[in-house]
Amino acid sequence: MPDPLLTACADLRRTRLRAVLGERAALIPAGRSRPRNYPANPYPFRASSHFLYLVGCRADALEGAALWLDGAGAVLLRDPPGPDDALWHGPLPDNDVLARATGLTVAPWSSLSTLRRGRSVATVPALDRAEAEARAALLARPKESLGHAAIDEPLLEALVALRLVHDEGALAQLRCAADVSVGAHLCGMAATRPGAREQAVCAAMEHVIAQAGCTTAYGSIVSVHGEVLHNPHHLHVLADGDLLLADVGAESAHGYASDITRTWPVSGRFSATQRTMYELVLAMQASAIAMVAPGVRYRDVHLRAARTLVDGLVQLGILHGDVDTLVDDGAHALFFPHGIGHLLGLDVHDMEDLGDRAGYAPGRTRSRQFGLGYLRLDRELAPGMLVTIEPGFYQVPSLLADPGRVGVVDRALDRARLAPFSDVRGIRIEDDVLVTATGAEVLTAALPSAPDEVEQLVGRSSG
């Protein structure tokens, strides 16, 4: 079940992390499955991303395990299966089998007391309070040191530095996840028919992901109300003039994410106004992807897309004024309120459990400007980093009606020129872009985004 390349990469990752730890030790728990409505009915177990990164293998047998790292090496702490486990869960690997599969020393949890004797032990933040309390008990720390006190900045910095740049093993998984997602979107387009429900398209897409042995990396968004940014509902009936926005991504067998959005016309034909705005979003994306290269500040990629949008809206007469001034005033955020993208890796917003440590370079913090404040990444790009590039155009009624949000842009906004675009509620186009030594590679390039091609893919079934 483990992937040999990923297992070898994980060994190298552990060696690198241990070099940073020096005299200290680290405990990285896998975590446990979380209950749905009662403890015996859990959501599928999915180990912590830090643990997956350092062990290189996703397996149910690792539920409740933890990785111990110190100067002497790495130990996987895990209790062997109990007598009734085989009945309920099948033959689980014993610790010897697990040791061969992962290339790690595997020892029962009782070894921890010896391992940690006289050591300063670093750990990663727990995901919830139960985990934090259990962690404090394991490390014989007082309960009051829950949460923040358990956070070890040098360890987190080292993890961020490692996980920011994807190695060969990670890239193979990320490419696999991207390919599966491309297939899901093609199937979603083919499943689109006026009169069907959003959930029919969503189910068709998730079917492709499940058949590939993957899971969804996040809650799928498949909605004719694309202007609702995080929309988990799939109840609307698809109507002839609607645009359908689908933000659906697979997670690979060993936990690596992909993240793709496409927006297509339910009828198989964009209206003239829809096509105009779609092409503008596509131009935003092209201008942003063209900038992706080592050394480029991601915030500037965001602002480039913003500038492309404002420029387009000025040309359409929807905004009036100087493009640079409008961007400075945040005019784009009225229609594009989120960031141009984020880090992608084991998490769909990679390492967001560490707050902005991964997304923001040291010394940088979130802007207070509406829109820019939602940007999840403000670093200089480096080869091996994977980011999404996901511009959008949305008409959010509550936003456009809020004088506090429209602010100084109100004078520049020609609502009469905007009115004909009422059949565009939300468009987003999102691809996964790898920073290479010389520029960028779009991992999701196999999925068309040109409007003619999209029309053709949808139209074959619905047209």
- Positions touching its own copies (CB under 8 A) are 34-44, 46, 48-49, 60, 83, 86-91, 127-130, 133, 197, 199-200, 202-204, 206-207, 210-211, 213, 218-219, 225, 228-235, 337, 346-349, 352-353, 396-399, 402
Residue type, 303: L
Closer residue to its own copies in complex, CB, 38/272: 38
State the residue for tokens 């690596």.
256
Closer residue to its own copies in complex, CB, 211/325: 211
| Cβ 215 to its own copies shortest distance, Å | 10
DSSP string, 164-211: HS--HHHHHHHHHHHHHHHHHHHHHHHT--TTSBHHHHHHHHHHHHHH
Q: Which two tokens stand for residue 31?
A: 């975590």
| Cβ 348 to its own copies shortest distance, Å | 6
| Cβ 445 to its own copies shortest distance, Å | 25
Say how many residues make up the chain. Answer: 463
Decide: helix, strand or coil at residue 11: helix
Closer residue to its own copies in complex, CB, 18/135: 135
Question: From CA 307, how far away is CA 311, in angstroms rounded?
Answer: 6
| Cβ 324 to its own copies shortest distance, Å | 26
Question: From CA 118, how far away is CA 178, in angstroms rounded?
Answer: 45
Query: Nearest Cα to 243, choosing from 431, 432, 461, 455?
Result: 455
Separation of first and last alpha carbons in the chain: 44
| Cβ 452 to its own copies shortest distance, Å | 30
| Cβ 146 to its own copies shortest distance, Å | 10
Closer residue to its own copies in complex, CB, 37/365: 37
Helix axes 168-190, 4-21, angle to 10 degrees: 130
The secondary element (H helix, E strand) that includes residue 379 is none
Closer residue to its own copies in complex, CB, 257/281: 257
Closer residue to its own copies in complex, CB, 29/337: 337
Query: Nearest Cα to 179, choosing from 210, 147, 212, 218?
Result: 212
| Cβ 296 to its own copies shortest distance, Å | 26
Closer residue to its own copies in complex, CB, 60/380: 60
